[in-house]
């Protein structure tokens, strides 16, 4: 038996706390358990055991959380802000390196795969104009803002070539 709630389909025999944790991006284990405790659901309650007033209360509780596409956009905005500021973490994201202290000697393929997607979405008003100049006219770094120029001067020529080929 399938149950539809908030535009998502749940198995009827799924635990409520696990269904909330896995189906709503950005909710997590702790928040799912807190919601269940606030609403008085016992730990092993199943989705098919919920009544209509339970679903209404659950919907009201979920409205206080940022989930789904809004949460994904918030995370991407935070990453873009770090990159625009030029923090260490932002540069790691931009270069496709692991961010949270992982080793890079033997491993880093996952970070390169995930951070490569975000590189293509990186645009600011000033940065987009400078990237367009680099792409069309091969302008030297002296015509760029200090942040972009420091980024290019800190990287090797091969990385600059790779950057131009991505555009």
User: Among 47-51, 68-72, 90-94, 136-140, where is mean pLDDT lowest?
Assistant: 136-140
In sequence order, which residues have a C-beta less than 8 Å from that of residue 22 and are 6 or more positions away? none
pLDDT of residue 29: 92
In sequence order, which residues have a C-beta less than 8 Å from that of residue 132 and are 6 or more positions away? none
Q: What is the 3-state composition of the chain as percent helix, strand, coil, each rounded to the nearest 5?
A: 65, 5, 30
- Global pTM exceeds 0.85: no
Compute the mean pLDDT over every residue in the chain, rounded to the nearest whole number: 77
Q: Mind listing the pLDDT tens digit for each residue in 59-114? A: 999 998 998 889 999 999 998 999 888 889 888 888 888 888 888 777 777 777 77
Q: Mind listing the pLDDT tens digit for each residue in 151-164? A: 555 544 555 555 55
pLDDT of residue 132: 54
Domain boundaries, the chain: 2-62, 70-166
Max Cα distance, the chain (Å):
66
Rg of the chain over all Cα atoms, to the nearest angstrom: 23
pLDDT of residue 125: 47
Instruction: Determine the average pLDDT of the residues in 114-139.
Output: 54
d(CA 61, CA 42): 16
Of 103, 98, 80, the closest CA to residue 90 belongs to 80
Domain 2-62 has CATH 1.10.10.10: no
């Amino acid at each position: 038996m399938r149950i539809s709630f908030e535009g998502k389909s749940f198995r009827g025999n799924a635990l409520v706390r696990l269904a909330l944790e896995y189906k709503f991006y950005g909710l997590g284990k702790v928040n799912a358990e807190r919601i269940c405790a606030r609403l008085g659901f016992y730990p092993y309650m199943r989705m098919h055991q919920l009544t209509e007033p339970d679903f209404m209360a659950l919907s009201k509780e979920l409205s206080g959380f940022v989930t789904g596409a809004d949460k994904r956009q918030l995370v991407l905005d935070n990453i873009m802000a770090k990159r625009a500021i030029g923090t260490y973490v932002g540069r790691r994201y931009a270069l496709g390196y692991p961010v949270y202290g992982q080793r890079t000697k033997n491993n880093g393929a996952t970070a390169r795969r995930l951070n490569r997607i975000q590189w293509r979405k990186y645009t600011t008003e000033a940065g987009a104009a400078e990237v367009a100049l680099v792409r069309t006219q091969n302008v030297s770094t002296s015509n760029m803002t200090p942040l972009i120029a420091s980024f290019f001067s800190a990287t090797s020529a091969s990385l600059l070539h790779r950057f131009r080929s991505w555009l």
